[in-house]
Each structure stands twice: as structure tokens, then as C-alpha cells.
Amino acid sequence: MRGTTHDAALLERAQEFLRTHHVATLATCAAQGPWAAAVFYASAGFELIFVSSPRSRHARDLAGDARVAATVHDNCTDWREIKGIQLEGTARMLEGAQQEHARQIYRARFPAITAIGRANAAIVAAFARVRWYSLVPSRLYLLDNERGFGQRECIELEPHMPDGGHTQGG
């Protein structure tokens, strides 16, 4: 972590939030402008593994510019209950051993979705067409309005740190 010290409890709270949620809003940008899309993810440390159609706008955007921002948050009706993660980093398509490692992470998190024998035909067909991606944050904020309005705690991460969540393909 870039010259900053982080309390172990803060790191664990942020990772626990990512582990207990599964939808991130991914923001990309390209010549046609900014775009946001919901992606279903599995986390490994701070890394988010997700799948997308190579024809989706966000996948096309990522092919030209890997820089992204994302949010993960609860749905609530009172601003005092807002909790979440805001992050910035890079996302890239995975291949080879890194893709297989990402599949293992995703299977462990979502066994009913990824188990060929148990998944419905539409899911199996969809997974045959997707590409696997890794989002590695360089900075994230843990937001918790229960601790005070706009209460954010910053975590600076170095790219490719195992505890920062870079897929370590085998």
C-alpha cells in the first residue's frame, strides 16, 4: 500500500463488504462518452471478477481504455443508512491461466450459476459466450453514513498486490 498505513479492521471491513455483495456498477469511458453498467462479481481480496459479453458497451470501452470506477452499495430508503464502496482502478480481459483462476473464484462464489449440470440451458449458453474480466482497484473508499454524513475512509492500494487483489493465475 502506497506509503500509507491502514488499520487491519478497515481493510477487513472493506473486504467483508465486497464479499457479502455481488453487484457492482461499473463506469467506463470512451469516445462516445461515459457509461455505467451493473456487473455480477465475485471478489478475491479487493479484486472483482466479472463476466461480460464482448459486444457490450462497457467491454468495448475497456478494450480501448482500461481505467474504470465502480460502486458497490446497499439499496436503502434513508440516506443515513447508505453504506458502500467507491473505487477507481483498471479492468482487463483475462486469458489462459488467469482466466481459469478467475473461473475458480467465480465458481466458488456462485456454484449454482456456474455448475454445468445444475445451471439451466440459457445460463450455460450465456457463459459460453462471455469473456472474463478482472477489476483491480488502485484506490477505494468505504462509505458508511451511519458513522456520519458522507463518512468515507480511503484505502490506497498498489496495483498487483496479492492483498490488493490481483489474480494470481497458476
Q: What is the DSSP letter of 92?
A: E
Q: Which helix (H) or strand (E) covers residue 59, if one does?
A: helix 57-64
Q: Alpha-carbon distance 25 to 34, whole Å?
A: 13
pLDDT score for 150:
79
pLDDT in tens, 101-158: 999 999 899 887 756 556 677 777 777 789 999 999 999 999 998 888 878 999 999 7
Q: Alpha-carbon distance 20 to 138, whole Å?
A: 21
